[in-house]
Every structure is written in C-alpha cells, then in structure tokens.
A and B are shown apart, each in its own frame.
Chain A
Amino acid sequence: MRISKSFLFWCVAPAFLLFLVFMIYPTISVFVMSLYKWGGYSAAKTFVGLNNFRTLIEDTRFIGSFRNSVILLVIVSVITLILALWCANVLTHEKIKAKSLFRVIFYIPNILSAVVIAAIFSAIYDPSRGLANSVLGLMGIEPVMWLGNRGIVIYSIAIAMIWQATGYYMVMYMSSMSAVPYSLYEAADIEGASGTSKFFSITLPLIWTNVRTTLTFFIISSINISFLLVRAMTGGGPDGASEVFLSYMYEQSYTNSSYGYGMAIGVVVFVFSFALSALVNIATRRDIVEL
C-alpha cells in the first residue's frame, strides 16, 4: 500500500507543532531562563550564570518550602499507599456486600477540581463553623486552628491530599489484584495461611510491578497536587508556613516578578523529582515473580 508523503505530513504536523510550541519550547525555556535575571515584563535580561541557584541555597523561605514538600511527600505517600492497598485488598478478597458501591464512593474525589477540594476543606477546617472542630468538640477536645496555626497547617493539607488520592490508587491496585490467579489463594487456604500472610506472600509480590509504578506517580502528583491545593487554600500562609515547591516558584515569578529566580526553583524541583523517582525505582527493584 503506497501512502503519499504529504498525507503523512499533514496528519502529524499540526499535533507536533502544537506540542513543540506549547510544551517543548516552554520546558526548554524553564532551563534557559533559570540562568538569567529577568523581571519578565521588561526586555532587559541579564545573564547571571548559576547565581540564581546560589541565592536559592541560602533562601530560608525556599528551604522552608523544600521541607514542607518533603513532609507532604512522605506522609501522604505512606498513608495513601497503606490505605489504598488495604482497601483494595479488602474489596478484592473479602466477602463484602455492595463492593462496587464502595469503589464508586472512594473514587469520587478524583473527579473534583483541586479548587473544589480546597474549598470543601477550607469549609471543614473553618475554626467556628467547620465540621472538623465540631467533631473534636463532641470528643471534648478544644477547637484547633487548622489552617491558621503555623505548626498544624501542613498536616491539614496532608489530610486533604490523602482524601483526594486514596481512591485513585485503590482502583489501580484493585485491577492488578484481580489479575492474581485465584488458585494460589486456594492453595494457601489448604496450607492454612492467614489473611495477612496471604497478602504479604502472594498478593504484594505479584502486584509489585504495579506498586512500583505508582511510587513514581506518588512523587510527581504529590508535588503537583500540593501546589494546586496550597495555592487555592492558604496561598502559602500563614506567613509562608504552608509554602511548597511550586507555590513558591509561582509566587516568585508573579508576585515578586523575578522570573529567572522562579525558573531556577522550577529546575531544582524538576531535577529533585527526577532523581528521587530514579532512586526509588532502584531501591524497590526486586526479582519479578512470574507464574
């Protein structure tokens, strides 16, 4: 079958052009701009080499945002992973009524906008009219300033992120768990294995490839979602206490109009998340169990 070159060209060109203009070019310019001092609106760009990065190391606010991002990454990933694995395991292997109803409910947060989630949790965390303090009140605990307390705010955001993410990973794990052959569990039953030992010696090894993939998702999406939520929920406040990687980048770029500096932050975050993904990938490498 002979196909003309021009047909091929006109099919691929529009998509590839858009992709180059709106994704590849901006990505390259993040790296290039990180080497300049630039206010953005004026044409005056000065090449400063790695100066932006030198400033970055001593910027206490950047270090604070780094700290917050890492706290969120660790807490959210660990708790979400455990919750999602547990729920997926229960919904796949236990005899539970209305399984699909549970699946449908757990997935709901995934279809909501980050702004909607931010608004819902801002309302829940409201000091006087929110659900959170009223639940604490029932247990006789003093009201908490969920978003107003510098020491607590980052954990309040972590809760919202876990609420958002668990259902997504649960559905992913459920689909890989349902591919594990049932005969293995029957054999384990004959041997008298407990539910826990079945999970750790059959289920987990067999879905390990899938779990590893999601670890990379955890890193990428936690950096992204934390930005979207912080931006809409606290704006980095109170007093910078909930600033995360990308929210600080955004703030430096817009509010402070130091685009070059903002892009240097972007580069650091990009390299950090890439290196961390690679590291996690190597650390979790196991011999793949095949049947």
Chain B
Amino acid sequence: MKLYRIFIYTAIILLAVSVAVPVLWVFMASLKQNPEFYESPWKLPDGLYLKNFVDAWKDAHMGSYFLNSVIVTVMAIAILLAVSLPCAYVLSRFSFKGRGIIKTFFMGGLFINVSYIVVPIFLMLVGLNRSLQVTFFLNNHFVLALVYASTALPFTIYLLQSYFATLPRAYEEAAYVDGCSPFRTMLQIMVPMARPSIITVILFNFLSFWNEYIIALTFMTNDVMKTLPVGLMNLMKAQNAAAQYGKMYAGLVIVMLPTLILYIFVQKKLTEGMTIGGIKG
C-alpha cells in the first residue's frame, strides 16, 4: 500500500513537472544573452538580461502588435456582447414565430469549426474589396473583430441563453406593471442579473480572441496591422535565420504573460465555467 502511494505521488509530480517546466524554461531563456544559448539549456541565466524584451518590444514591433491585439480583442468582445446579449435574452424569454428555427441554427453553428471556413470568409472579403473598388475589408482591425465576434456567437448565445432561462419571471412582470419599456427592462434589470454568465463569456472569449492566429494571419497581410500571435510567428522564423534567440523567447513571454496573469486570478472560474460550457474550439 505504501509502495502504491509512492508510485502515485511520483507519477503525478512527474506529470505536473513536465507540464510546468517548458513554460518556466521559456521565462528563464527570455533573460539569457545570446552566447548563453550555446551552453547547457538547463543553466540558469547569468543575469537578468532585460534587453531581450526591449528588442522584442521595439525592434520586432511586438509593442505595436500588442496594441493591435488589445484593440482587436476589446472591439470583438464589445461587438459580441452588444449583439449576443439581446439575442440570447429574447430567445430564452419570449416565444414567437421562427424562434425554434433560429435556435436550431445557432446550435448547429456549434459544430462549425472556424478552421474550415477561413478560406471562404477570406475570399468573400477579397470579393467585396474587388466589387466595391476598395481595400477596406482586409487589413482592418474592425473587420477582424467582427469576424471573431461572429464566429463566437453560437457558443456565447448558447451559454447566455441557458443562464437567462434560469432567472425568475417575476422581475420582468414587476417592471412591466411599473410601465418600464422592454428595452429598459432588458438593459437595466435582466442583463445585470446575468452578470456571472457574462463574466464567463468574457473570460473564454478573451482567451480565444487573444490567442487566435489563423484568421489574423490570413486577413492581416500588412505588417503594421498584425496581432501578437502572428508577430510571434515572424519572430520564430527570424530567430533561425539571424540566431537571435533571446528576442524570440522574450516575444513568447510577451504573448503569454497577459493570459497567465488572468489565469492566476480566475483559474477557479475558468475550470468551473468549462463544465457548464463543455465546448472546445
């Protein structure tokens, strides 16, 4: 029995270490100077060589990509909430003609994987540009945010809808008796009550928008418009050619630090929310 416990501990610690070490190792490597990379990869950095971060932030433009990522993520979440909250609210609270069909459509959307439809969306945007004689639809943060928000709709509406359905009807009836308009009832009474589910929605979508790269890679052909993950891909390619390793690791840290910090604060909410949503992109 004792032997069994030792085995369990060793195995689970070994697994935890193999998950944690690669991430910690990146942090360590981001502080190394170039010559140090030719020594043992396990060696601790000689000092805190923060110039890697300056190089990545300025020379490799990770700073401006960071700003792009913030703009796109914030816009996408704002659009997503603005359109999905009213829709989920109405779909879950009122019965009207066509409601069943619309709900089924959104449910079906849960099975559409974004990776399949990147190409047709891209071609649609190219086509719009050509027929309207503009360049508006590509290399545009707003359009990228709009596409992010749209592809997140099925999951978000599903989640919000099931939360709205649990709220008691009495509040709306009271508001109606007091002569409150349906729009105000929704905005000032029902939406604030759905706050827990809204937070879950924001968390999951922040992670997926911040981390997304295949759509951004396809739509943002212009260098100044790129988002962080795409910028990181550039750095990966460049480090092999120019043997500037520190900069790449620093870039890696810049991409993952915001999500890690967020994770530290909300890990409980995330792992709980996952079992409600139960869907993976």
Q: Which residues of A contact B (CB under 8 A)?
A: 1, 3-5, 7-8, 10-12, 14-16, 18-19, 21-27, 29-30, 33, 40-41, 83, 87, 90-91, 94, 96, 102-109, 111-116, 118-124, 129-131, 134, 163, 166-168, 171-172, 175-176, 195, 213, 217, 220-221, 223-224, 227-228, 231-232, 246, 249-250, 253-254, 259, 262-263, 266, 269-270
Contact = CB atoms under 8 A, between A and B. Distances in A.
Given A14-B86, A120-B252, 13 more contacts: A3-B94, A8-B96, A11-B87, A19-B150, A23-B151, A106-B16, A111-B262, A115-B211, A115-B232, A119-B232, A124-B22, A224-B281, A266-B116
Contacts of A130: 41
Contact of B150 (A7, A18, A122): A18
Contact of A40 (B96, B115, B123): B123
Contact of B87 (A12, A22, A94): A12
Interface of B: 4-5, 8-9, 11-12, 15-16, 18-23, 25-26, 29, 37-38, 40-42, 82-84, 86-87, 89-91, 94, 96, 102, 105-106, 109, 111-113, 115-121, 123-124, 126, 146-147, 149-151, 153-154, 157, 172-173, 176, 182-183, 186, 207, 210-214, 218, 229-230, 232-233, 236, 245, 248-249, 252, 255-256, 259-260, 262-263, 267, 270-272, 274-275, 278, 280-281
B115 A228 contact: yes
23 contacts: A4-B182, A22-B121, A24-B109, A25-B120, A104-B267, A107-B263, A107-B267, A108-B260, A112-B211, A112-B259, A113-B256, A114-B211, A114-B213, A115-B213, A115-B230, A120-B23, A123-B248, A124-B25, A129-B41, A131-B21, A167-B19, A168-B274, A250-B118
Nearest to A2: B176
Contact of B15 (A15, A26, A83, A123): A83
A242 to B, nearest CB: 16
Contact of B256 (A30, A112, A129): A112
A232 B94 contact: no
A11 B120 contact: no
Contacts of A22: 121, 146-147, 150-151
Given A103-B271, A112-B259, A23 B115 contact: no
Nearest to A245: B115
Given A3-B182, A227-B115, A109 B19 contact: yes
Contacts of B37: 129
Nearest to B20: A105
B116 A27 contact: yes
Nearest to B249: A123
